[in-house]
């Protein structure tokens, strides 16, 4: 062994020997330089000594490695020694074999950092010897040998995966997965393989690395995907068996299925753990993927390979993106191959269409020849098509072979190994014709005289193989017949007899097979149930030998090829992994929950559901998450009338646990969870011994948590359903506590900002469904109130999003046709508002206004008097309790009270006005600054109310109080301008004055005389008291916008063809006092507002010229009063205007009939008499010649 070790290259390499020599030379040079430069110092001696020690260390290390390598190789060879199976446990050879495997396992498991990173040990020892040993022992029928091989393989994955990328792939695909899928492998072998897979699935890093390095590798196998599909298939129950202990299923089969299910659950758990570990910051922040320890040196690919793999220096997002692109590319290729295996032409067209294949004969031929996973029969079908392009592909396919110096039977096997011959003779003829041409071209001048001879002899070989290996042919062709049949075929000459006999013997020994037939030799028996264990063992032995052979060929082919094993450190790789495995896993879990009652299996399924929902939620994979949540919700059986089993109770508990643990990620799936919670509460109430439900009937009062009697079931409902419902409800109530349900809503306080918004939105949706129908329920509405109260302390930004959803729901429920539901909603809204108003609001914010807006909607749209009255009382209570904290909320409060002023029910109007009066008396200082106008508009609405004159009169007096507060500076800051006026025509002053003045002006037209009188007196008292603070421009606007509109109805009564009656109430009771007070106002402020005299004269003239005699007399009286009281103050120009006005009024007030008689009398006397206009619709005199200041235009708000 020592001599063999020396020959095997265990001695130090040339590079290492050169390194030792360099160190020795450096040490000698250091001493020489010390001597030349002066005496040798201690430092120079130390430096030289260090260099010598390094050289000695390298030499000793290499000797140690040589010993290690020799021992390791000897153990590998000993473990590969063939031992007869019959006497396996009783021979020294078997004991030596097992002991060598145990030692190898100990070496691999306990390998330190030196061996793990030693290039020569990996390449010379592990790859060259240990991997071959594992392949041969990995299909051993001996239990201990097989188990030790699997344990060594797992140890290699754990400690050496960075350097064994191709070897791991071969062992997975050619050994482990083949054993699981084989119908001939034993149950013990399957069980041991599953145990190893369970270990792999339990290591998140290993699982993700397998996906990244193989499933995302364009040229790699889909190890992760194949493993999941195989496990999902093995874990499912048979359709005939409803439990895992059903007859027909052995204990071993049950154990295998349980272990396969556990592997699936462990995969889900590993994905969760991987995501959580990286989210907690365990992974490096600067890299998404990093090469394995030292693998850049061992594999020689530090920069990325020819397959477009990302390098370690790439940006995180770029690295992940590249792997995702590679996986996407690979998936498209797989899809194209699936289509090809159904319709070859469509498959090629698909791959060309997506850009993964160039439509040239050479490229298509290369694809057919090299791509794994293509159906060999479909390849033959495609190559045999008569289309011109298919013929070109066939020619390119054949020309890609090199048959030089090959025997013709070997060349034919190689040619037919890639496809199966089609059934049509013309297609076979075309293929063999091209084969003969290629073979003769590569072997011209040798055995065959021409291509025709190759063509005919190739057909003869195909017929020979068929004859020798077809079971239906009883009489086989003999050697003499074979020689006779080939006489004279070589252009008239005979083939050498020895050549023909060699061909015969080789075909007798080996049939013509395609590559896929070689890989699955027992496919014909895979589904046969007639084989006994002995026959299956024999078949698996043959199958195992072929698996080892194929695997060894792959390893030898890949021995010199170096590849990089990437170590994943990025969370985003979990997303494509879950996309691949979610649907097979969901199908497996759902099928088991449906048919199995085994407690262990059910618990595993529920664990898998929880992990799968966690992963899909973390990555916001809505489709997958909703599918898992929907499936789990269905198995709760809460919406069915069938009898519940313990597994259904387990599903309910799992759903509650998911709500507790994964609330931050459920998003839309909260709807399904909360729907189940609602049904659970309903069932829990029944099971707790009470038929009471949280329903609202029109007759029942709606206290906070009261529930009215459950509606009786119809007579047509089956008795069995009643019984099941009661049993289920009792079972649920006994195993699930109310506290578990309530905790879900209490824990919303810990949800993140987005999650709480989604939770509230889904809860509102469930509540909307509950309140529909004849027997609405309010469970979710109650919980919505609780959740809103719990989360009211969140930051304003989040709370505004929450309340936006809740407010919309309260608007809808607040106008519910069942007034009990609406009343509960209003009362709940009051409680929330009272709690919300405890928080102070900063200036210029409107959170309170938005909070109280639902009250506005409810009082405006609900038809029930009780609900509208309740809204008013709720606001009354809030004002009494939280008035000092109300800011922007006053706006919504006044909107509600303003609308209540026009309510058809007088009691609501009276109640609301009492609250408004309390506000004026006690809290005016709180509203004066920002909500004065809203308050004034509210008072104007009550002043215009037609229900009780006392309310209107009090509202008018409150308007006077508002005017006083305004002048005294309690509303806005008032300071005299340059002319000494406190109020001018600016927007700020107009905004506060005009609501008061115009409101009083409009109230002068109130139907009740007492209200009109009070409004008229209050208006002119206000103007007389505070008019001196108005500027001229503001007086002009007041005259045009406030005073003149009082008389619009009487001024223009003739123009609207509506003659005011002589006994009109407003005319007889209010018109004269109004005009009289207007005259007094002019007399009082004549020096200030004399520029408005012309406008006032026009107003009086319009009254005097009316056909209504009472109105004309009132106008004339006031005109006379105006002249008498103000005449002493007029200027000559104003007297001229008065005279012109008087002359005009006299001329235009002549009776029309008398005028006509006068005209006739004058005509008789031939005396010209000027014609007078009629009284009706007299023209208003033209503007006075006296100068007057131009009035300022009224702003939009004043109009």
Angstrom distance (rounded) from CA 1112 to CA 1117: 8
Phi-psi category of 354—alpha, beta or left, where left has phi over 0 and alpha has psi -120 to 50?
A: alpha
Residue 737: how many CB atoms within 10 A of its CB?
A: 11
Are 1103 and 1050 a contacting pair, CB within 8 Å? yes
Specify the 3-state DSSP secondary structure of 760: helix
Are 226 and 214 a contacting pair, CB within 8 Å? no
Two structure tokens written together for 351 = 């791959």
Angle at 446 between CA 443 and CA 451, to 5 degrees: 60
Tell me which residue of 921, 913, 845 sits closest to 875, measured CA to CA.
913
CA distances from 793 to 788, 789, 845 (A): 9, 8, 17
Are 1135 and 1120 a contacting pair, CB within 8 Å? no
Specify the 3-state DSSP secondary structure of 200: helix
Helices H / strands E in the chain, number of each? 56, 2
Tell me which residue of 678, 297, 629, 1176 sits closest to 621, measured CA to CA.
629
Are 752 and 691 a contacting pair, CB within 8 Å? no
Angstrom distance (rounded) from CA 1113 to CA 1102: 12
For 1004-1034, the DSSP string reads TT-SSHHHHHHHHHHHHHHHHHHGGGB-HHH
Residues paired with 290 in a beta bridge: 567
CA distances from 563 to 170, 183, 370, 566, 573 (A): 14, 34, 20, 10, 20
Catalytic residue among 334, 358, 424, 1065: 424
> What's the gap between Cα 472 and its chain centre?
62
Are 1019 and 1004 a contacting pair, CB within 8 Å? yes
Contacts of 56 (CB under 8 A, 6+ apart): none
Q: What values do phi and psi take at 566, rounded to 5?
A: -95, 135
Phi-psi category of 908—alpha, beta or left, where left has phi over 0 and alpha has psi -120 to 50?
A: alpha
Tell me which residue of 1082, 1178, 1097, 1091 sits closest to 1141, measured CA to CA.
1097
Are 81 and 97 a contacting pair, CB within 8 Å? yes
For 518-562, the DSSP string reads HH-TTGGGTT-S---HHHHHHHHHHHHHHHHHHHHHHHHHHSS--
Angstrom distance (rounded) from CA 757 to CA 765: 12
Angstrom distance (rounded) from CA 353 to CA 14: 54
Angstrom distance (rounded) from CA 1001 to CA 1003: 5
Quote the DSSP letter at residue 525.
Answer: G
Are 684 and 738 a contacting pair, CB within 8 Å? yes
Two structure tokens written together for 32 = 């020489």
What is the Cα gyration radius of the chain?
A: 51
Are 146 and 180 a contacting pair, CB within 8 Å? no
Two structure tokens written together for 515 = 């590559």
Residue 801: how many CB atoms within 10 A of its CB?
A: 17
Residue 424 bears catalytic tag: yes
Q: What values do phi and psi take at 117, rounded to 5?
A: -115, 15
CA distances from 657 to 44, 661, 740 (A): 71, 6, 9
Tell me which residue of 964, 136, 995, 168 sits closest to 552, measured CA to CA.
136
Which H or E element spans position 143?
Answer: helix 143-160
Residues serving a catalytic function are 424
């Amino acid at each position: 062994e020592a001599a063999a070790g020396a020959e095997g290259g265990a001695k130090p390499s040339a590079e290492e020997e050169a390194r030792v020599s360099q160190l020795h030379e450096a040490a000698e040079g250091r001493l020489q330089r010390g001597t030349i430069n002066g005496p040798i110092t201690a430092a120079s001696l130390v430096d030289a000594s260090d260099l010598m020690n390094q050289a000695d260390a390298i030499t000793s290390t290499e000797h140690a490695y040589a010993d290690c390598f020799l021992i390791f190789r000897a153990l590998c060879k000993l473990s590969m020694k063939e031992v007869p199976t019959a006497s396996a446990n009783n021979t020294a050879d078997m004991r030596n074999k097992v002991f060598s495997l145990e030692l190898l396992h100990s070496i691999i498991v306990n390998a330190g950092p030196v061996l793990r990173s030693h290039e020569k040990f990996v390449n010379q020892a592990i790859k060259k010897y240990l991997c071959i040993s594992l392949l041969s022992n990995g299909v051993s029928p001996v239990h201990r040998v097989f188990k030790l091989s699997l344990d060594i393989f797992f140890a290699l994955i754990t400690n050496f995966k960075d350097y064994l990328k191709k070897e791991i792939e071969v062992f997975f695909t050619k050994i482990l997965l083949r054993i699981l899928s084989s119908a001939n492998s034993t149950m013990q072998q399957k069980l041991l393989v599953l145990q190893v897979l369970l270990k792999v699935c339990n290591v998140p890093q290993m699982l993700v690395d397998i996906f990244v390095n193989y499933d995302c590798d364009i040229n790699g196998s889909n190890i992760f995907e194949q493993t999941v599909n195989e496990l999902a298939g093995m874990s499912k129950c048979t359709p005939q068996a409803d439990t895992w202990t059903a007859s027909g299923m052995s204990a071993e089969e049950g154990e295998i299925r349980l272990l396969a299910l556990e592997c699936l659950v462990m995969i889900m758990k590993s994905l969760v753990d991987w995501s959580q570990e990286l989210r907690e910051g365990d992974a490096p922040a600067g890299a998404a993927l990093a090469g394995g320890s030292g693998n850049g040196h061992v594999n020689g690919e530090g920069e990325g390979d020819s397959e477009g793999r990302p390098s370690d220096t790439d940006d995180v997002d770029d690295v992940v993106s590249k792997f995702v692109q590679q996986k996407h590319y690979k998936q498209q290729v797989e899809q194209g191959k699936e289509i090809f295996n159904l319709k070859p032409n469509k498959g090629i067209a698909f791959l060309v269409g997506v850009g993964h294949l160039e439509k040239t004969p050479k490229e298509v031929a290369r694809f057919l020849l090299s791509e794994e996973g293509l159906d060999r029969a479909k390849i033959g079908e495609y190559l045999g098509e008569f289309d011109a392009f298919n013929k070109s592909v066939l020619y390119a396919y054949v020309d890609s072979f090199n048959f030089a110096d090959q025997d013709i039977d070997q060349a034919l096997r190689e040619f037919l190994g890639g496809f199966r011959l089609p059934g049509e003779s013309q297609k076979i003829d075309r293929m063999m014709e091209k084969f003969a041409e290629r073979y003769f071209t590569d072997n011209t001048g040798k055995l065959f005289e021409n291509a025709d001879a190759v063509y005919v002899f190739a057909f003869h070989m195909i017929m020979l193989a068929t004859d020798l290996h077809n079971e239906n042919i009883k009489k086989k062709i003999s050697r003499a017949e074979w020689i006779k049949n080939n006489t004279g075929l070589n252009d008239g000459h005979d083939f050498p007899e020895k050549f023909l006999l060699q061909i015969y013997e080789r075909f007798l020994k080996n049939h013509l097979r395609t590559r896929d037939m070689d890989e699955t030799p027992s496919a014909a028996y895979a589904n046969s149930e007639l084989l006994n264990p002995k026959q299956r063992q024999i078949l698996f032995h043959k199958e195992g030998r072929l698996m080892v052979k194929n695997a060894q060929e792959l390893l030898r082919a890949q021995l010199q090829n170096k590849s990089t094993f990437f170590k994943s450190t990025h969370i985003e790789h979990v997303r494509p992994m879950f996309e691949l495995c979610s649907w097979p896993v969901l199908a497996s879990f759902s099928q088991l929950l449906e048919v199995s009652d085994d407690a262990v299996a059910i618990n595993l399924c529920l664990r898998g559901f929880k992990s799968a929902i966690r992963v899909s939620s973390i990555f916001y994979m809505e489709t997958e998450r909703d599918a898992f949540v929907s499936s789990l919700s269905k198995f709760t059986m809460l919406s069915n009338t069938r009898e519940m089993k313990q597994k259904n109770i387990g599903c309910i508990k799992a759903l509650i646990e998911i709500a507790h643990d994964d609330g931050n990620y459920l998003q839309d799936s909260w709807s399904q969870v909360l729907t189940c919670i609602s049904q659970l509460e309903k069932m829990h109430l029944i099971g707790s011994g009470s038929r009471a439900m949280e329903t609202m009937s029109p007759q029942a009062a709606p206290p906070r948590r009261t529930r009215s009697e459950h509606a009786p079931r119809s007579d047509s409902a089956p008795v069995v359903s009643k019984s099941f419902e009661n049993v289920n409800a009792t079972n649920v109530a006994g195993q699930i506590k109310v506290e578990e349900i309530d905790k879900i809503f209490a824990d919303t306080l810990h949800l993140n900002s987005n999650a709480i918004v989604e939770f509230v939105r889904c809860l509102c949706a469930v509540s909307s469904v509950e309140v529909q129908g004849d027997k609405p329920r309010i469970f979710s509405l109650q919980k919505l109130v609780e959740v809103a109260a719990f989360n009211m302390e969140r930051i304003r930004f989040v709370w505004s999003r929450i309340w936006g959803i809740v407010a919309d729901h309260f608007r809808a429920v607040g106008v519910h046709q069942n007034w009990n539901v609406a009343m509960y909603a209003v009362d709940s809204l009051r409680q929330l508002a009272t709690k919300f108003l405890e928080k102070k609001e900063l200036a210029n914010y409107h959170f309170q206004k938005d909070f109280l807006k639902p009250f506005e909607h409810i009082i405006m749209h609900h038809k029930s008097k009780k609900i509208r009255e309740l809204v008013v009382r709720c606001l009354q209570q809030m004002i009494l309790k939280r008035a000092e904290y109300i800011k922007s909320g006053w706006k919504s409060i006044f909107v509600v009270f303003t609308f209540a002023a026009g309510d058809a029910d007088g009691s609501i109007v009276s109640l609301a006005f009492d609250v408004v009066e309390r506000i004026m008396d006690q809290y005016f200082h709180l509203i004066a600054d920002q909500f004065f106008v809203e308050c004034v508009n509210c008072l104007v609405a009550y002043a215009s109310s037609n229900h009780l004159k006392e309310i209107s009169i009090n509202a008018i007096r409150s308007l006077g109080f508002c005017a006083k507060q305004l002048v005294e500076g309690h509303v806005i800051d008032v300071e005299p301008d340059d002319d000494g006026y406190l109020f001018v025509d600016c927007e700020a002053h107009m905004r506060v004055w005009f609501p008061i003045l115009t409101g009083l002006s409009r109230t002068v037209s109130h139907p009740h005389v007492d209200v009109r009188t009070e409004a008229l007196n209050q208006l002119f008292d206000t103007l007389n008291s505070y008019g001196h603070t108005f500027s001229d421009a503001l007086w002009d606007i007041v005259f045009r916008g406030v005073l003149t509109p009082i008389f619009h109805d009487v001024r223009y009564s003739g123009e609207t063809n509506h003659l005011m009656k002589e006994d009109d109430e407003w005319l007889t009771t209010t018109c004269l006092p109004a005009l009289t007070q207007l005259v007094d106002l002019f007399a009082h402020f004549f020096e200030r507002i004399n520029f408005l005299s012309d406008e006032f004269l026009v107003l009086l003239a319009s009254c005097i010229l009316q056909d209504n005699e009472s109105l004309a007399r009132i106008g004339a009286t006031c005109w006379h009063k105006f002249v008498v009281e103000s005449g002493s103050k007029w200027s000559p120009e104003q007297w001229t205007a008065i005279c012109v006005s008087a002359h005009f009024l006299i001329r235009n007030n002549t009776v029309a009939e008398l005028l006509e008689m006068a005209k006739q009398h004058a005509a008789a006397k031939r005396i010209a008499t000027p014609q007078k206009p009629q009284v009706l619709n007299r023209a208003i005199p033209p503007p006075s010649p006296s100068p007057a200041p131009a009035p300022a235009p009224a702003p939009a708000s004043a109009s």
